[in-house]
Homo-oligomer: A and B are copies of this chain.
């Protein structure tokens, strides 16, 4: 899965990284992010506070945790989708993976977000970086200049809107709804109505 672990050093670093995230996730879900200090997270992961900040810029990022390398990962995944696939569907497939990849973390993440809705915002913030990368690839696929034509930015924005809406409604339902399934449904609803750039008029 991971690009082969190169050495013991890198392996240990990943271990502390994971331990910090797990601790932040667990504590954040248990007591709410506001009542958890960075010191507690670091202690739970058995490292110093200073080390925490070498891995995450803030405790919120440790919980939301969309690292920079995921951007590349997502971009490559979108590039690998067949060229014949409609942009929105391609976006759905690769974004859908965000739910599946760290599926074990999502329940805790949702509980943490429930404790402080501002975390949901932080998450949407991290989407900005994703959107930028995705818009770039969509522009390649469609051959449109993203600075000239709003279509790439719009399709991507619509896809993330579906992602956000599914997150929000899943949260509103108190966890009774599956965010991933809701996301698929939302995209399907949009796909039925949205059309590719060539024909601006739907019918």
Contact = CB atoms under 8 A, between A and B. Distances in A.
Given A120-B128, A192-B202, A162 B154 contact: yes
A200 interface: yes
Interface stretch (A20-28, A66-74, A181-189): A181-189
A193 B202 contact: yes
A19 interface: no
Contacts of A154: 161-162, 165, 186, 189-190
B124 A117 contact: no
Nearest to A174: B147
Contacts of A120: 125, 128
A182 B147 CA distance: 12
B168 A164 contact: no
- Interface of A, secondary structure class, is helix
Interface size class of A (residues with CB under 8 A): 35 or more
Contacts of A160: 161
B173 A164 contact: no
A125 B121 contact: yes
Nearest to A131: B168
Interface of A: 117-118, 120-122, 124-126, 128, 131, 146-147, 150-151, 153-154, 156-158, 160-162, 164-166, 168-169, 172-173, 182, 185-186, 189-190, 192-195, 200-203
